[in-house]
Amino acid sequence: MFSKKMFILATVVSSIGFGIAAPNIHADNVANATSSQVSNSAKYTDGMYQVNTTYLKQGTTNASTMGKYMSAVSDVTIKGNTAKLTISANSASSAKMITGFSINGTSGVKNGNSWTFTLPTSVLENTLNGHVDINVIFFTESQPVDVKLDMSSVN
Ligand code: HEM
């Protein structure tokens, strides 16, 4: 008699258990639906783009000396609301002079003659606040520079 009650109890408990588990599976689906909605609402289509890049003396519309050392085109890889911006020097000797390069306060990760910055897509159309550290034999300087990306081809 007692063990029959236990059996019924166990059956009831396990049905409740499944009852609880079932909504969890639903919850996962809801989470997936939400994350795809987030990327649908992203500003740009995911992908890799090449964007014209200009360097201006900070706070001005005048060309910066930095433009002489850099590639005029940068790579932007968009994934959702995050962008990886890769900026390149125009030669190995130009890259060698640049000992530090940050944008909006975050240091770029150097790879060969390029630096990669992870930025929110929301800032890409703004003037980016660059900063470079230069070292050429015994000459050093640490300079601010405005970086402008031409985002007109990215949609
Ligand atoms: C032999 C190498 C270099 C020398 C002698 C040099 C010298 C100077 C001097 C004297 C200034 C003061 C402002 C002016 O006169 O225009 C300056 C500014 C500046 N330099 Fe250099 N520089 C050298 C290389 C570089 C490199 C490789 C970069 C970056 C890739 C760079 C980026 C800047 C920036 C951003 C400024 C601030 C003014 C502006 O944006 O034009 N410099 N440099």
**pLDDT tens per residue, range 80-124:** 999 999 999 999 999 999 999 999 999 999 999 999 999 999 999
Q: Does domain 47-153 have CATH number 2.60.40.1850?
A: yes
pTM attached to this predicted model? 0.77
Give the up-direction half-sphere exposure of residue 115: CA atoms within 13 A in the CB hemisphere.
21
pLDDT of residue 104: 98
| 56 contacts 146 by C-beta, under 8 angstroms | yes
Nearest to 65 by CA among 77, 74, 75, 56: 56
**Which residue's C-alpha comes closest to atom 37 of ligand 1?**
143
Establish whether residue 115 lines the binding site of ligand 1, counting it when its CB lies within 6 angstroms of any ligand atom.
Answer: no
Give backbone dihedrals phi and psi of 53, rounded to 5 degrees, phi first: -130, 130
Establish whether residue 22 lines the binding site of ligand 1, counting it when its CB lies within 6 angstroms of any ligand atom.
Answer: no
Gap between the Cα atoms of 9 and 26, Å rounded: 26
Distance in Å, CA 128 to ligand 1 centroid: 18
pLDDT of residue 33: 41
pLDDT of residue 4: 53
**pLDDT tens per residue, range 96-107:** 999 999 999 999
The low-confidence residues of the chain, meaning pLDDT below 70, are: 1-40
pLDDT of residue 41: 76
pLDDT of residue 13: 44
Distance in Å, CA 66 to ligand 1 centroid: 7
- For the chain, counts of helices (H) and of strands (E): 2, 9
pLDDT of residue 30: 43
Residue spans of beta strands (DSSP E) within the chain: 47-56, 73-79, 82-88, 98-103, 106-107, 109-111, 114-120, 128-136, 139-149
What share of residues in the chain are helix, strand, coil (percent, to 5)?
35, 40, 25
